[in-house]
Amino acid sequence: MPKIRDCGAVAFLCWAALLSFPGIASAQEDELVPFPYLADRYTAPRNAPSVGVLAPNNEPGERLIVTGRVLFGSRPVAGASLFIFQTDRNGEYAPGVQGNDAELNPRLFVLLRTDTQGRYRFETIRPGSYNGNAAHVHYVVKAADYKTRLVDLWFQDDPILVARRAAGQPEITDALRNTPYFKAGTHDSIAIRPVSRGAEGRWQTSRDIQKIGRAHV
């Protein structure tokens, strides 16, 4: 399969091009996630915790705590697998690796399972932007009897988004809105969330994932 190098947008754009290759679209007909992320290596063990550390304390950058829930409608989804990954503060997924290879082998990631109330929590750093993209955190969300999802967490105070708003431009570009994952995954594919400083000076935000759908419906 040809490799896509130096993708200039978030994973939605990077992976949309793969759908043009025979077999890829049909292989993930009932999924809302790029095909490679269906592999077991991106699935949390059954006994994975609901709380974890994505970036260790010695990772350079501003500390960030993210909390949230996985929901079907208003009902919590217990035991959902979360593969969460991001760039470092310099905007690199894996130093020296580019394109899809980097996003498939990120240096900073965590595997979690939601608790009985659908909750999760992780500590990390604020990711860096790259190629003109707003900084973001990716989630691959898997749960029994539900469609697998690829969703993003963006930050309301990101300078790129602030500049777009000031210029009267949409925060989410038309190119991104037209990708299969954004359209199929509904507006919940990208959440632009406010961030605030906590008591210890760490950033805090939350990200609920509410639009997961049942498989084979």
Domain membership flag for residue 211: no
Residue 188: pLDDT above 80?
no
Domain membership flag for residue 99: yes
- Give φ, ψ of 125 to 5 degrees: -120, 165
Domain membership flag for residue 106: yes
Residue 91: pLDDT above 70?
yes
Domain membership flag for residue 113: yes
Whichever domain contains 59, its CATH number is: 2.60.130.10
Domain membership flag for residue 2: no
Domain membership flag for residue 37: yes
Range of the domain at 16: 11-206
Domain membership flag for residue 169: yes
More confident residue, 163 or 99: 163
State how many domains the chain has: 1
Domain membership flag for residue 18: yes
Residue 155: pLDDT above 90?
yes
The mean of the pLDDT values for the chain is 83
Per-residue pLDDT, 149: 86
